[in-house]
Structure 1
Amino acid sequence: MAKQQVIVPDIGADAAEVIEWMVQVGDEIAVDDSLLVLESDKASMEVPSTLAGTVVELLVNIGDSLSEGAAIVLVETADAIEPAQIREEPPETNQAEAAGQSEAQEALAEAPNNQPVSAGKHSVLVPDIGTDDAVEVIELSVSVGDEVEEGDTLLVLESDKASMEIPSDASGRVLEIAVAVGASLKQGDLIGVLEVAGHVDTPPAPAQEPKQEAPPPAPAVPKSVSEQPKTAPVAKAPVARATASSSEVVYAGPAVRKLAREFSIPLEQVSGSGPRGRILKEDLHTFVQQRLSKPEAATVSVGAGIPAVPAADFSQFGSVREEALSKIGKVTAANMQRSWLNVPHVTQYDDADVTDLEAFRASLKDEAARKGTKLTPLPFLLKACAVGLKDNPKFNSSLSADGESIIYKEYVHIGFAVDTPAGLLVPVIRDVDKKGLWELAEEVLELAALARDKKLKPAQMQGACFTISSLGALGGKGFTPIVNAPEVGILGVSKSSVQPVWDGSSFVPRTMLPLSVSYDHRVINGADGGRFMNQVVALLSDIRRLTL
């Protein structure tokens, strides 16, 4: 075992600032694993390890300025390596391995153009970026109409190991931008067209550029610094972001930019807490948490400022564990918040005497087994609600988007909430009013199984007129279900229990089922709600009425 230092290779600049650590003491690393991120005026770059082993000590700090030859980390390796092997490699090898970043940065800094032309339109091309492979555009720094000076950043390119700003080689006004975020560019590709006022040095347009005058190939790029993929990277989906002006410089390393693209986070809207306002991964996490606590959709829907729930550091009170919401969880949360903010809810409560219903259901247990199904209370609830919807058409309607009319539905489709490991799903049974109890029982079991197995199709969760949310055996005497807009009503079902009920001469034990119906008060008033609830209670209390 031996302890060796990893040093800074040739980075093509006098010094660059340490802006991010990629490892910590105790980490096991391999050759070419990134150790830290350096940032100069024109590019940020990840510095790879030349050794494999265990990180023993970090020799520099965030904010330090490093130059070629500076020691970065101390690594404990399995085999002893002479320091000379690390610090003094043969000239030809050292030059090849240092070429990647230095060539890219020198090209960006100099951006030589050798053919003088008069004032007018000037085509800006991608300079030598140190590789023949295509590199992805991750940010546009200017837009059409902007005035730029020579040296102003036009766009940002990013390879696997570095992000680099491409400067303008002339001063003028932007007439055209020929690329978009997500595009892949090589040396010589057209970036845009400037209208210049003075005498400038500019290359000809790409269509007139002689192929034989292409610059000589750059020295071999080291795998340890900035080797590009063997094939051109596939263009990724554009990041949803506003175009920043040339004065709005965003400082962020490749790892942070990649994470921001994955989550569609506009970097220009994130406050950086690192040196020079640099954006760190923690800043992205904070940004996402703030957005989740105050969704933009909710702000738009209510048309007024609602104070956001302030972020809290719960770890200061004890250990915590954070898990990302599932996609279903996010959709459910957004839908519930939208409905609660937009729908003026009213909830009415009542109890249905289901003693006879439960006795009838128990008498059918053997028949259900022969049919290979199970007769739960839900098919009876579905039938009762279907009758209630037909006789109380306001419950089977929706308010138009402009709020100027009510849309009455001639069909009766009812959704029922299913608790699954992935979250709450609401499959929809169509034409409930036209189906019998056995057919409904089979469809309930089939759709519930599909929901729990994550096999429901989108069409099987659409088109509901009304929803039933049942807590069943979970307990509770009542709750306020949230209307699933654009529906205007929802029935909440709690746990039944045996209670003493006065029959006129004595108290007798009866099985009572707590019900709660929430409705949109813009469409349904208290009298409408009372009539609907009374009918559902009467139907469940005397199931013979379901046949009428």
Structure 2
Amino acid sequence: MNQKTQVRVPDIGDFEDVEIIEVHINPGDTIETESPLITLESDKATMDVPAPFAGRVESVLIKVGDKVSEGTPIVDLQTTETADSSTIDSERESGLKSTETLETQQVSEKKNPSQKSPEIQTNPGSSSNGNPASKEPQLMLMPDMGDFTEVDVIEVLVKEGDLVQHEDSVITLESDKATMDVPSPLKGTIQQMLVSAGQKISKGQKIALILPESDDSSQPVASEPIVKMDSSPSDVLKKPVLEEKSTSGRRPPISEPVDQQQFLKAHASPSVRKFARELGVDLSRVTGSGRKGRITHDDVQKHVKQRLSSPSQSQGLGGGVPPIPEIDFSQFGEVEIIPLSRIRKKGAEHLHRAWLNLPMVTNHDEADITELEAFRQKLKKEAADQNIRLTMLAFLLKATSTNLKKHPDFRSSLSSDGQNLIHKRYCHIGVAVDTDEGLVVPVIQDVDQKGVYELAQDLGNISEKARKRKLKREDLQGGCFSISSLGGIGGTAFTPLVNAPEVAILGVTRSKMTPQWNGEEFIPRLMLPLDLTYDHRVIDGAAAARFLTDFCLLLADMKRLLL
């Protein structure tokens, strides 16, 4: 028979005015016995206050931030307990709470509340005197899992003939809000499974036939277990819940090496700690999104999903890259969250993939561009009359196309199986362009077939399109080599990353006048720093050195382009 019951804070030891840091329920929720109602945090510990019985939440009498003591009203419940009112009253007055209780279809006789009850009570199929048939298969039914109907069975964790312990997981369900296991109500042998993966299931539906073990045959069996309280609620609250481990026989979805000291220091409630242990999660690796950085159930689930989708989890120990730990920077001061642009996210993904897959090496050199720069200055006015901005990059493109003909491996790609080198007969060169949205690398087509003025014009056009976000897909495809120039900004050297599936990239920084020894004296020369990064699977150090040496000769004397 339903009746309204007010749940109060139980005896929580020598604590008064303890702060509520989380409320786990809302009016209208259906809760089970031992479901956490609120989480309290003192200066010494964090603890959950569980429901002493199952029922429906009528009203929540507290909120986050309130301070409570023993006897403070928490919630009004419409209970479905079959215990008599004196039992409920005594529990209410003393603040007692029981451990896990699920509602039953029928209880044949009332038990004395002061007396320990057996774990499992009678099934409707039992005889009128409450004694079940000896060693008969018992039917396991789907218990009340809250406001869930037609829930998908995503995994069957046991098979016929398996021995299961009481509370061992039998099946796993997944709704649009949560994933949950359904435990066995008794110890015994699975005689027949009545559900399969992919099936939908609701309350009361048959799950399995279980043959009880001999030590359970003297106990009445139910389709849903009822666990009665074996200790006082104050004892339960004072027990080291932090050290509780999962009793389920199911293997955790992930397995992380757990630093026990850091695990215990993690800011999380006992129920979250238990949840983390069941999933194999080290709480010290989880970033809390709750108040004061507290870790919630959602944070643990999010961490598991990230680990399952990461290469390091799928490849096993040592097979992946350990993730950078998440940090709540707001604990150190004010922060601002700025979403990454689509270009930055795509670029980061591409560069990360290249970094993980390519063994990259960088060679550095300097080119004497004294005469080349003087030549460029002479042509600037002539180019300006044609509305062309003649930069050093146009000359670098022309020299690169000539050098690539002499060193064809530098405009190749390695086949996906790593067995062949693909030489490209065309010469399309990508040029890194800095935009407000991030770095893009548009491609200039047929560089080897164009003059310096035409290349300078192409550079101006494609750079303007990039900054106005008007690049088309074809503008970013087909490159066989790339150039990244920081000369207009500064710097003396850097390590550009190869734009895979290309095998090399040339980096350029700001030129400067330096004294150079000509065999008789030091003379001022304009030197241009060059950085060549390459895929070491295709290009070795000697080949890279020869490429740069020949490139420096071309820049030092552009007449070599005619040879």
Q: TM-score category by the smaller chain?
A: 0.5 to 0.7
Q: Is 1:177 aligned with 2:177?
A: no
- Secondary structure of the corresponding residue to residue 360 of structure 1: helix
Larger gyration radius, structure 1 or structure 2: 2
Q: Which runs of 5+ in 2 are unaligned?
A: 13-17, 67-73, 80-99, 107-122, 127-134, 224-247, 255-267, 269-275, 287-293
1:425, distance to aligned residue in structure 2 (A): 3.3
How do residues 449-488 of structure 1 correspond to structure 2 at under 5 angstroms? 449=464, 451-452=466-467, 460-488=475-503
Closer/same/farther in 2, CA of residues 310 and 468 from structure 1, 3 Å limit: closer
Structure 1: gaps spanning 5 or more residues: 1-8, 24-31, 48-56, 77-85, 92-105, 203-243, 251-255, 257-264
Change (3 A) 1:358 1:175: farther
- Gap change, CA 1:415 and 1:383, over 3 Å in 2: same
Mapped contact 1:352–1:541 kept (Cα < 8 A): yes
Over residues 287-337 of structure 1, what are the superposed CA-to-partner deviations in whole Å (9 max), with x where a residue is unaligned?
A: 59x979xx7469969x96799698597979954748688434642562353
Task: Specify the alignment match of 1:393 in structure 2.
Answer: 408
How far apart in 2 are the matches of 1:407 and 1:499?
Answer: 40
2:281 alignment partner, one of 270, 291, 295 = 270
Q: Residue 155 of structure 1 aligns with which residue?
A: 172
Q: Which of 428, 433, 440 is equivalent to 1:413?
A: 428
Per the TM alignment, residue 427 of structure 1 is displaced from its structure 2 partner at its CA by: 3.1
CA contact (8 A) 1:111 1:128 kept: no
What letter matches 1:280 in structure 2? Answer: T
Q: Do the aligned residues in 2 keep the contact of 1:399 with 1:406 (CA within 8 Å)?
A: yes
Contact 2:504 2:532 in 1 (8 A): yes
**Distance change >3 Å, CA 128–CA 88, structure 1 → 2:** closer
2:364 corresponds to which residue? 348
The one of 355, 358, 362 equivalent to 1:337 is 355
Q: Secondary structure at the match of 1:64?
A: strand
Cα shift readout 1:100-139 (whole Å, capped 9, x = no counterpart): xxxxxx99754899899xx9x99988666555876677x7
2:554 and 2:560 in contact (8 A); partners too: yes
Superimposed CA distance per residue, residues 191-246 of structure 1 (whole angstroms, 9 cap, x where no aligned partner): x97576689999xxxxxxxxxxxxxxxxxxxxxxxxxxxxxxxxxxxxxxxxx964
Distance 2:180 2:373 in 1: 73
Residue type of the partner of 2:281?
A: V
- Secondary structure of the corresponding residue to residue 331 of structure 1: helix
Query: SS of the counterpart of 2:553?
Result: helix
How far 1:392 moved relative to its partner? 0.8
CA contact (8 A) 2:140 2:184 kept: yes
Tell me, yes or no, if the aligned pair for 1:357 and 1:540 is still in contact at 8 Å: no
The Cα offsets for residues 258-278 of structure 1, whole Å up to 9 and x where unpaired, read as xxxxxxx9993422479xxx9
Q: Deviations over 1:370-423 (max 9, x none)?
A: 44x533332322222122111111222234455544332223232232334444
Q: How does 1:131-530 map to 2 (within 5 A)?
A: 131=147, 140=155, 142=157, 152-153=168-169, 154-158=171-175, 165-167=181-183, 172=190, 174=193, 177-179=196-198, 187=202, 194=208, 246=250, 248=252, 268-272=279-283, 280=296, 284=300, 296=311, 319=333, 321=335, 326=340, 327-328=345-346, 330-332=348-350, 334-335=352-353, 337-339=355-357, 342-343=358-359, 345-357=361-373, 359-360=375-376, 363-364=379-380, 367-368=383-384, 370-371=386-387, 374-449=389-464, 451-452=466-467, 460-501=475-516, 509-530=524-545
In 1, Cα distance between equivalents of 2:34 and 2:499 = 52
Distance 1:269 1:384 in 2: 58
Query: What is the SS of the residue equivalent to 2:404?
Result: helix
Matched AA of 2:49: D
Shift of 1:495: 0.3
| 1:158–1:307 Cα change, 3 Å | closer
CA distance in 1, matches of 2:375, 2:412: 34
2: distance between equivalents of 1:270 and 1:247?
12
The residue aligned with 2:48 is 63
Aligned residues: 428
Percent sequence identity over matched residues?
32
Q: TM-score when scaled to structure 2?
A: 0.54
Partner in structure 2 of residue 102 of structure 1: none
Q: Is the 8 A contact 1:354 1:540 kept in 2?
A: no
C-alpha separation in 1, matches of 2:503 and 2:209: 59
Indicate conservation of the 8 Å contact 2:362/2:531, yes or no.
no
Instruction: Kindly provide the amino acid, as one letter, of the partner of residue 424 in structure 2.
Output: K
Task: Give the corresponding residue for 1:72.
Answer: 62
Q: Aligned partners of 1:111 and 1:144: how far apart in 2?
A: 27
Find the counterpart in structure 2 of residue 54 from structure 1. none
Counterpart residue identity of residue 196, structure 2: I
Maintained 8 Å contact 2:32/2:102: no
Q: Given that residues 307 and 313 in structure 2 are in contact (C-alpha distance below 8 angstroms), is that contact kept between their aligned partners in structure 1?
A: no
Alpha-carbon separation, structure 1, partners of 2:326 and 2:65: 38
* Equivalent-residue separation in structure 1 for 2:195 and 2:381 (angstroms): 75
Going from structure 1 to structure 2, the CA distance change for 1:151 and 1:476 (only over 3 Å counts) comes to: closer
Give the structure-1-normalised TM-score: 0.56
Task: Name the structure 1 match of 2:556.
Answer: 541
Match of 1:205 in 2: none
Q: Given residue 172 of structure 2, which amino acid in structure 1 is its aligned partner?
A: L
For residues 469 and 209 of structure 2, the distance between their equivalents in structure 1, rounded to whole angstroms, comes to 57
CA contact under 8 A between 1:343 and 1:483: conserved in structure 2? no
Asked if the contact 1:152/1:168 (under 8 Å) is kept, the reply is yes
Q: What is the CA deviation profile of residues 72-94 of structure 1, one whole-angstrom value per residue up to 9, with x for unaligned ones? A: 33899xxxxxxxxx988999xxx
On the 8 A contact 1:355/1:510 being kept in 2, the answer is no
Q: What amino acid does structure 2 have at the position aligned with 1:363?
A: L
**SS of structure 1 residue aligned to 2:538:** coil
Question: 1:360: how far off?
Answer: 2.6
3-state SS of 2:63 partner: strand
The Cα shift of 1:279 comes to 6.2
Q: 1:460 to 1:166 in 2, by over 3 A?
A: farther
Residue identity matched to 2:62: I
Structure-2 separation of matches of 1:266 and 1:469: 49
Give, as a single letter, the amino acid of the residue that structure 2 aligns with 1:537. C
Q: Report the counterpart of residue 259 of structure 1 in structure 2.
A: none
Partner of 1:225: none
Q: Which residue of 2 aligns with 1:82?
A: none
